[in-house]
Amino acid sequence: MSKIVQVAAIALVCSISGCAPVRYYQALAGKSVAEPEPPKIVERGQRAPSHEKVTAMSDGLYLARIRKHGEQRFGVVDRSGRVVIPIGYQYLTDLGGRGFVAIGSQSLRGFDRQGNETSTTLFERELHFRNGQAVAVVKAVVGGSSEERYGVIDTRGKTVIPFEYSGIFESSTDASPTVSWYRVRRDIAGPGEPGKIRAGLLDARGRTVLPIAYYDVSPGIDRQGLDRGWATVFEQEHEGVAVNFITGVRMHRTGGSFYGRTVGYSALLNPPPEALNQYQKMQYRKEHAERYRLELFDTQGKLVYDQSDIGATWDLRGLIAVSRTNKFALLDADGRPLTLFKYDEVKDYGGGQALMVADGKVVCIDAAHAPGTERPARECTRATTKKEGGKPKRRQRDPIAVPAVYPRYRG
């Protein structure tokens, strides 16, 4: 076999297997690919390795940085090039006369100006910072046994949320990626009582949004809904209710989905009798054609749309798609009808827009225009994206302002 044929054969095998040609050659040759080595840690007092000078400090010290394999690590070096604080930390903060705070992958350490370690906190898991904060886990002695306790720290090592929770789950939104919400869990049982784990919701500053009084809090049903203050709380173990922690409105209906500023509920027009067991309910639904009733409410609990005989609903970004007798229609986020039930297909385009197909013709529907307005499909693309710095950016609507104080529910 000629050399050209061999090369072509190798390229063909690589294209089929999805591997890179270099890796395929190494596999044939029996060579192993070396794992990238992390930056070496040079101890205090030794000559500093090759590094960047980030900023000068007092006492002839400066902040040093090493970049390797797409990561960067920080330390402190003196004017003679000797290591004062090893260059291996994610974040390093100069506290002046009080020394330094250094955050590693699983540690929080304090140092004086000479590089002597003054305090150490070790975490049970690696720290992953997002929006300048990270959920951290420590071991704490509770009732004679060691248990994990969760908290949140920032890049300066300050405690944002104290380490007193049995679980913390971070949530953020597409519209407000710099805002984080923390679902927290804690045992609120008194001395001698059985365990009583309850959930609540905190904001990125550690302020109480929803008190720790619920079986569960589910703010992630709709990321945009969370931005607007909507969350589902479970006051009973399997019964959720929608509340808005910004406006204080409480929806008295259980279940439902969030659509921008509107809350929607779908209810069966002919639900199976409650006395039936699960198998009997399944048989009942097979024998009885199911239709749905859609109810949409604004943030004050006012009914803005009520339509029976709805087949299904879909939450789009800024729109609601509904179907009846195999035809689609669109509503805006406030429940205002934008179209008739005449479309065969619907495609979410974001920013309150959608592509609709009827009899093979594709049109653009935009919530910003009058109901019934159809525009060419290409205008959806132009309206959806705009360029900033030469890069397309999806447009956003209705920025959300979060108040300084949140109402409380049920204590």
pLDDT value of position 335: 86
* pLDDT tens string 179-188: 788 999 999 9
pLDDT value of position 252: 67
The span from the CA of 15 to the CA of 177, in Å, is 38
Q: In sequence order, which residues have a C-beta less than 8 Å from that of residue 193 and are 6 or more positions away?
A: none
The token pair at 11 is 């390229």
pLDDT value of position 223: 62
- What does DSSP say about strands 117-122 and 71-77: parallel, antiparallel, or unpaired? unpaired
Residue 285: pLDDT band with limits 50, 70, 90: confident
Q: Which residue has the higher pLDDT, 269 or 168?
A: 168
Extended strands (E) in 27-156 = 52-56, 62-68, 71-77, 83-89, 91-94, 100-103, 107-111, 117-122, 133-142, 145-154
pLDDT value of position 384: 57
Q: Which residue has the higher pLDDT, 278 or 162?
A: 162
* pLDDT tens string 35-47: 555 556 778 889 9
pLDDT higher than threshold 80 for residue 64: yes
The radius of gyration of the chain's CA atoms, rounded to the nearest angstrom, is: 29
Question: Is there a contact between 295 and 265 (Cβ–Cβ < 8 Å)?
Answer: yes
Question: Is there a contact between 199 and 217 (Cβ–Cβ < 8 Å)?
Answer: yes
pLDDT value of position 402: 57
Pick the range with the lowest mean pLDDT from 49-58, 60-69, 82-91, 392-401.
392-401
- Dihedral Cα 237, 240, 246, 247, nearest 10 deg: -130
pLDDT higher than threshold 90 for residue 63: yes
pLDDT value of position 188: 92
Residue 27: pLDDT band with limits 50, 70, 90: very low
* pLDDT tens string 292-327: 888 888 777 788 888 888 888 887 878 889 999 889
Q: In sequence order, which residues have a C-beta less than 8 Å from that of residue 106 and are 6 or more positions away?
A: 122, 123, 124, 125, 126, 127
pLDDT higher than threshold 50 for residue 26: no
**Distances, alpha carbon 177 to alpha carbons 181, 223, 229, 390, in Å:** 10, 10, 15, 22
pLDDT value of position 262: 74
Pick the range with the lowest mean pLDDT from 64-68, 69-73, 205-209, 368-372.
69-73
The token pair at 221 is 């049903």
Amino acid at 362: V
- Dihedral Cα 322, 323, 329, 334, nearest 10 deg: -20
Residue 222: pLDDT band with limits 50, 70, 90: low
The span from the CA of 330 to the CA of 352, in Å, is 10
Q: pLDDT above 90 covers what percent of the chain?
A: 44
Residue reference for tokens 């609990």: 301
pLDDT value of position 391: 60
Question: Is there a contact between 166 and 148 (Cβ–Cβ < 8 Å)?
Answer: yes
Q: Give the closest residue to 271 by CA, choosing from 291, 298, 295.
A: 291
CA dihedral sign, ordered 349, 353, 357, 363 = negative
The span from the CA of 321 to the CA of 317, in Å, is 10
pLDDT value of position 37: 55
pLDDT value of position 270: 84
Q: Which residue has the higher pLDDT, 246 or 402?
A: 246
**Which of the 8 DSSP states describes residue 34?**
P
pLDDT value of position 173: 74
Residue 386: pLDDT band with limits 50, 70, 90: low
What is 71-107 written as a DSSP string? EEEEEEE-TTSBEEEEEEESEEEE-GGG-EEEE-SSE
Q: Does residue 16 sit in helix, strand or coil?
A: helix
What is 358-399 written as a DSSP string? ETTEEEEEETTSPTT--EETHHHHHHHEEEETTEEEE---S-
* Partners of residue 343 on adjacent β-strands: 328
pLDDT value of position 390: 57
pLDDT higher than threshold 90 for residue 351: no
Extended strands (E) in 188-291 = 197-203, 208-214, 216-218, 230-236, 239-244, 250-254, 257-259, 262-268
The span from the CA of 25 to the CA of 19, in Å, is 10
Residues in the chain: 411
Q: Which residue has the higher pLDDT, 333 or 367?
A: 367
pLDDT value of position 121: 96
pLDDT value of position 405: 67
Average pLDDT over residues 394-407: 56
pLDDT value of position 8: 53
| Average predicted confidence (pLDDT) for the chain | 82
pLDDT value of position 28: 41
The span from the CA of 317 to the CA of 347, in Å, is 11
- What does DSSP say about strands 180-187 and 197-203: parallel, antiparallel, or unpaired? antiparallel
* pLDDT tens string 98-157: 999 999 999 999 999 999 999 999 999 999 998 899 999 999 887 777 899 999 999 999
The span from the CA of 409 to the CA of 247, in Å, is 12
pLDDT value of position 22: 43
